[in-house]
Amino acid sequence: MELLQGRIRDYAWGSRTAIAELQGRPVPSNGPEAELWLGAHPGAPGTVQRDGRPVSLTELLVAEPGHWLGERLVGRFGTRLPFLLKVLAADSPLSLQAHPDAEQARAGHAADVGRVNYVDPYHKPELLVALSEFDALCGFRDPGESAAAIAAFGVPALEPVVAALRAGPAGLREAVRLLLSWPRAERAGLVAAVLAADDGPAPADAELVRTLAAGYPDDPGVVVALLLHHVRLAPGEGIWMPAGNLHAYLRGTGVEIMAASDNVLRGGLTAKRVDVDELVRVLRFEVLTEPVLRPETVAPGVLTWPVPVEDFALHRVEVAAGSPGARLTLPGPRVVLCRAGKLTVDDGVGVVTLGAGQAAVGTAAGGPLTLGGDGEAFVATCGLR
pLDDT at 114 over 80: no
Active site residue 210: no
- Local confidence band at 112 (pLDDT 50, 70, 90 cut-offs): confident
pLDDT at 379 over 80: yes
Average of per-residue pLDDT across 151-155: 97
Average of per-residue pLDDT across 250-273: 96
- φ/ψ bin of 74: left (φ > 0), alpha (ψ from -120 to 50), beta (otherwise): alpha
290-293: long-range contacts, CB 8 A cutoff, minimum separation 24 = 291/138, 291/139, 291/229, 291/231, 291/239, 292/231, 292/233, 292/237, 292/238, 292/239, 293/127, 293/237, 293/238, 293/239, 293/240
Give percent of the chain above pLDDT 90: 95
- Local confidence band at 16 (pLDDT 50, 70, 90 cut-offs): very high
pLDDT of the residue at 250:
98
pLDDT at 119 over 90: yes
Per-residue pLDDT tens digits for 77-88:
999 999 999 999
What rounded mean pLDDT belongs to the chain?
96
12-16: long-range contacts, CB 8 A cutoff, minimum separation 24 = 12/92, 13/90, 13/91, 13/92, 13/93, 13/94, 14/89, 14/90, 14/91, 15/89, 15/90, 15/91, 15/253, 16/91
Instruction: Identify each DSSP E strand in 70-217 by its residue range.
Output: 83-90, 96-98, 126-130, 134-140
pLDDT of the residue at 344:
98
pLDDT of the residue at 42:
92
pLDDT of the residue at 113:
73
Per-residue pLDDT tens digits for 301-355:
999 999 999 999 999 999 999 999 999 999 889 999 999 999 999 999 999 999 9
- Local confidence band at 22 (pLDDT 50, 70, 90 cut-offs): very high
pLDDT of the residue at 238:
98
Total Cβ atoms within 10 A of residue 53: 7
Buried b (16+ CB within 10 A) or exposed e, 223-234: bbbbbbbbbebe
Average of per-residue pLDDT across 272-301: 95
pLDDT at 357 over 90: yes
Active-site residue, from 80, 187, 251, 266: 266
Distance CA 83, CA 62 (A): 16
- Local confidence band at 116 (pLDDT 50, 70, 90 cut-offs): confident
pLDDT of the residue at 231:
97
Give percent of the chain above pLDDT 70: 100
Per-residue pLDDT tens digits for 162-217:
999 999 888 999 999 999 999 999 999 999 999 998 788 999 999 999 999 999 99
